Amino acid sequence: MVLELIVIGLAITLEPLPLVAFVLLLSSERGIRKGLAFILAWLTCLVVVVAAVLLLTGGHPAPKNSASSTAAEVVKLVVGLGLIAYGEHKGRRLRAPHERKIPKWQARLDQSNAWSAAGIAVLLQPGGLVAAGGAAVVHADLSNSVTWFVLFAFCILATSSQLAMELYTVFAPTAAEKRLEGLRRWIVDHEEQTIVVFSLLIGLWLVGRSLSQLV
């Protein structure tokens, strides 16, 4: 469970699309407030998923080969296959000539407020990866104090990129503005390539892990 939560948490926090949205929010008027709203909504979604799974399991790890354990592995398998399919689709599109267009919603982030920033966090959170993280939590044992730390660390790790940018902007706003703009440009320029590699790697890893447990 620990390794799965670490990998999934890193995958969630490094998703390119939410990162671009967060940088644009931070760069807009009252960006720190919007960034905080984004982070709180992002964290809330993660906590709700983890809490819901723990309520279903009662805080006890699912026995191996039980219905709940098998269902959790199937969820990870489906998410992994979905990521592989999405990565392959994006890869074919990347190889074909096409004109890249900036999504309209990105241009409207300057006019957003704290509430809409929170809504954007909910909409852009990678549901498949969060579901995979929830499936991993099925094996959590709340009678072990280490488990509480692992679950807390998962939520923080999955939010770490936004937290780092928020704190950087608070304590070094001038330097952060230049660095974050450079980061945004790099992500935008390499977004499609990153998504292809990212989706295929995480997808293959999830499929491999789930199949090994199911077999």
pLDDT of residue 209: 86
Q: Domain range for residue 129?
A: 2-214
Residue 13 identity: T
- Please provide the DSSP assignment of 123-189 as one string: HHS-HHHHHHHHHHHTT--TTSHHHHHHHHHHHHHTTHHHHHHHHHHHH-HHHHHHHHHHHHHHHHH
* Alpha-carbon distances of 122 from 46, 109, 143, 168, rounded to whole Å: 10, 15, 31, 23
Q: pLDDT means per 10 residues in the chain (215 residues)?
A: 89 88 84 92 94 89 81 90 88 67 62 86 91 89 88 94 91 84 77 82 89 81
- pTM metric for this prediction: 0.86
pLDDT of residue 51: 93
Contact 44, 160 (CB under 8 A): no
Token pair for 172: 């070094």
Q: Token match 């990866």: residue? A: 129
The domain total for the chain is 1
